[in-house]
Chain A
Amino acid sequence: MNFLYALTHKVREAPISAGTFNLVCITMACVVAVHASHLPIWLTLLLGFALLASHWRRRHRPGKTPMWLKLPLTLGLLAGIVVWYGNLFGREPGSAFAVGLLVLKTFECETVRDVRVAVAFACFALMAALLSDQGLVVTVAVALAIVPALMSLRSLEPGQAQRTITQAALPALGLLAAAVPLALLAFLFVPRLSEPLWGAPAADTAKPGLSSSMSPGDLTELLTDDSAAMRVSFDGVAPGPDQRYFRAFVMWNFDGRRWDHGYGRRGEVAGLLPQGPVATYEITLEATHRRTLPALDVPMAAPEGARLSADRELSSNDRIDDVRRYRLSSALGYGLQADLDENTRRLGLQLPPNFDPRARALAQQWRLTFGQNDEGIARAALGLFHDGGFRYTLAPAPLGRDSIDDFLFNTHEGFCEHYASAFTFLMRAAGIPARVVTGYQGGFYNRLGQYLLVRQSNAHAWSEVWLAGRGWVRFDPTGAVRPERIAADGTSAGDGSGPWYQPAWLQAARNRWDIVNRLWAQGVTGFDALRQRSLLQPFGVREAPPSMLVTILASGICLLAAIGLGWALYRRPEGDVAQRALARLKARLERRGLASRASEAPGHYFSRAARFWPSQRKELESLGTLYNHLTYARSEPAPELARRFARMAREFRPPRVVK
């Protein structure tokens, strides 16, 4: 069977095969697919169409693409992106332009060089897709997209036996699989930069999340967003649902419509007197592109790289552009700021003049009724919400200028921020210092993964009221209206039961899937410089410096290289038992001075050896006879004879020649 392939003088200049072009098109389709989540839909569709057109063209109109076709396509792409994004620079338009150019590159994929350039930059574009989302799904998709890229490169090599696409895919997958150990080693030990070398990318669109101000209706978008906000794993038992309040912002300033956090109050941190259990936990926070770190009410001290504001809000020293993990201890029962200084008291009573007269009147009336019993007033307000015909809805009617009055006496519907806002207003109007706190409340406790999943939809707003002798006390007026919102192991804040497209089994599946996401976020995405340094803790190294990481990386690479070389150098032994034994014996005798000749039959070799070492003549001759008998007397050598020959050859000791 002979394979003889066409002789071409310059193989590299040869046009690529149809199979290669198909693989390149598949690669480009993968690139478009992994970028589809952030490309505008019209561009995704156009690029898919262009890819099909390019494929059709090469099949039916082979040859070079004329310039009058290529130039308008490229200019059109450029114009479309500039019109859509407003400019060409920046991550989003830049990656859109790169993906577009790659797809257009298929119009001029004629030579080996073209394909290599296209595939190399396709790899680059695939990695760029991870800049906008480095979740598990996208990462796996990108990893799979590498396979057709490698297959394209393989198909370029000349002189291959014809293969089906699965026969071509398996070796490429095998190559990737064999690369996994080295990749993992490099991933674990390549020292991470503690600070970026150049400017960290500015987020083009702020992710929805808690913001530092609150006006009615702001949270609606957030409360319907089921993406994960953070995951909390507790040392020991998780606190009950009614204690799962994660504070993010404390808001003092109210202008009649909007509660505002300002920049956080600096100054002396409010004194905290823990009363009761202390929870210790670790939070894995998704990227927020802000500085605030939510913490369970009330954090006792700031973790490394963060500080406490005067109102015990935690804020990080740098912006959270990546998954962040931090450990905290919080007092679940507490006395917060038992003594209120005059400044803070004034701030806690501040109200905009000429707003909401009916609410103020109501508060004054309560003050007359309850006298100095501040807590009684607060209970009265909660009772109003509970019995006053209020309704919890995520789609409340819009409010007028006097938003509090409108809500309290007119619409009677709203969600947490309406209630917190109105409650705080009423307290202040009654002369009780109060403030709005926003953050997250509740969450889903994943028993399988032993952690609390807090979603964006768990965003919440509540009030804190300063009571003499007790300090700041949390009041959640939403709970008065809709207790299940607070108490439930709720998954969604929506009104009524879950929407029709989210049946229970789907929710359950999503909760399991979230464990995988959490592991991914902890193990891969959140593997930063800090965690890398503590990587060697199980081996007794408290903090591994970068030089140690590099040493480990180098030695690991050497070890893997040795394994790889062992694999590369291993040759399956040729021949049967007797032939191998003969080859070993010959090698040994050669070291003693008797080299075998290429043209020599084994029998001749042994007789020559017998002359060389006359003292061993008998043994050598019997070896020769046995080998000849084994090899030439029968078509199938008897295994026991072959083994005997092998044993004899192994035990033969040529005498040392004294020179």
Chain B
Amino acid sequence: MTRVARAWSAVLRRAERRLPSLTRLRSPEALPIVLHRRRIYIVPTGFGLGFTVLLAVMVLGALNYSNNSALLLTCLVGAAAAGSMLVAFRTLDGIALTAIRAQTVVAGEDVPLTIDIAPGKRTRSSLQMDVAGRRLAFAVVSDVSVTLELALPTEQRGYMAMPRMRLFTTWPLGMFRAWSWLHPEHKVLVYPRAEAFGPPPRDPSLDADRGRPHPGDEPAALRMYRPGDPRRQIAWKLSARHEFLLVKDMEQPAPEAEWQLSWQSMHGMDNESRIARLARWVNEAHLAGYRWSLALPDRLFDVAQGDEHFHRCMTALALQP
């Protein structure tokens, strides 16, 4: 390595250390993200440049015609414009992105997000945020957090990284634009999209007793009357042939269906189609209140039901390689 290249890389290292946002642009960072002077950039807007040219013309005219009043007021307007740069900086300095909350959705839907912005001890006007092609404008009052709501489009299952967001302001005069890039290290889980139509799950154990009456259709058993049983449950016709009263036992829980969902049960399908079908079955089983088990190539979820089981299964499906 030549000396020049070494020196250059030293300069770059130093620049990255002094201006962390150069690197943070590329790598996401942990919450909370607090904006500070090394990551806030300011450039004049097009209007600012145009206004500067106009001011220059005014100064030149005032000097040429030795018109001191005009010179004084032009200087005043120019100084106010320059001061607005500091105001723009202060609007962003110290603001913090404290939390991001996302709901889970299936791929293809928009995921609703909330972003918490803490203003610190300063009231800030006219903040704007560019995120995923949308632009939000908001103001914050000192010490009161603001929650921004937005929706991000999703395309595929799995973890979706938060897009790079730009927090910027042109406050107060629109002549300077101060901005900072935010790239929070926050991932949004997107469930796989279930297939629209398909066969119900085929289970060998269910095949065996096909034709058995579906549970819940008929009284499951008869038993002897016990004092306290409601009268309408007494099977009068049957009791007539016996010496004692028989009661239709309705309270016995009907045997629930158990779906044994398995990655291996499907043949000749690619991974995504299997995931989509499994997702549909899991959805159906969850909605119908069935119990199900899920066997994936790398892990097995034993028979269970309920929200927690559902989310575990869907997460595993979402994260299938």
Contact = CB atoms under 8 A, between A and B. Distances in A.
B125 A139 contact: no
A410 to B, nearest CB: 50
A569 B172 CA distance: 17
Interface stretch (A179-187, A224-232, A240-248): A179-187
Contacts of B77: 123, 146, 179
Interface string A518-532: 000000111110000
A325 B30 CA distance: 68
Interface string A173-208: 001101111111011001011001110110000000
B70 A130 contact: yes
B86 A565 contact: yes
B239 interface: no
Interface residues of B, number: 68
Nearest to A11: B135
- Interface size on A, as a range, is 35 or more
A161 interface: yes
Contact of B87 (A121, A130, A161, A175): A175
B67 interface: yes
A352 interface: no
B71 interface: yes
Given A124-B54, A127-B70, A564-B86, A159 B60 contact: no
A568 B127 CA distance: 17
A193 B66 contact: yes
A171 B60 CA distance: 29
A159 B126 contact: yes
B273 interface: no
A9 B133 CA distance: 8
Interface core residue of B57, B75, B170 (most chain A CB under 10 Å)? B75
B126 A158 contact: yes
B136 interface: yes
Provide the main secondary structure of the chain A interface. helix
A4 B69 contact: no
A527 B70 CA distance: 12
A607 interface: no
Given A159-B125, A160-B139, A524-B72, A183 B79 contact: yes
Interface string B166-187: 0001111111000000000000
B219 interface: no
B124 to A, nearest CB: 10
Nearest to B173: A153
Residue in B59, B94, B136, B175 whose Cβ sees the most chain A Cβ within 10 Å? B136
A139 B173 contact: no
B73 A157 contact: no
Interface in A122-156: 123-124, 126-127, 130-131, 134-135, 138-139, 142-143, 146, 150, 153-154, 156
Given A197-B60, A569-B93, A179 B173 contact: no
Contacts of B138: 3-5, 159
A568 B64 contact: no
B63 interface: yes
Given A7-B136, A196-B65, A176 B80 contact: yes
A508 interface: no
* Most chain A beta carbons < 10 A, residue from B50, B87, B94: B87
A10 B147 CA distance: 21
B64 A130 contact: no
Contact of B144 (A1, A11, A178, A527): A1
Nearest to B144: A1
22 contacts: A3-B139, A4-B146, A5-B137, A5-B138, A9-B135, A10-B135, A123-B58, A127-B74, A131-B70, A154-B171, A158-B126, A158-B137, A179-B76, A179-B78, A179-B79, A179-B83, A196-B64, A196-B66, A197-B63, A198-B64, A528-B66, A568-B93
Closest 3 CB pairs of A and B: A159-B137, A179-B79, A182-B79
Interface of B: 30, 37, 47, 50-51, 54, 57-80, 82-84, 86-87, 89-90, 93-94, 120-122, 125-128, 133-141, 144, 146-150, 169-175
Interface of A: 1-5, 7-11, 112, 116, 120-121, 123-124, 126-127, 130-131, 134-135, 138-139, 142-143, 146, 150, 153-154, 156-161, 171, 175-176, 178-184, 186-187, 190, 192-193, 196-198, 200-201, 322, 524-528, 564-565, 567-569, 571-572, 574, 598
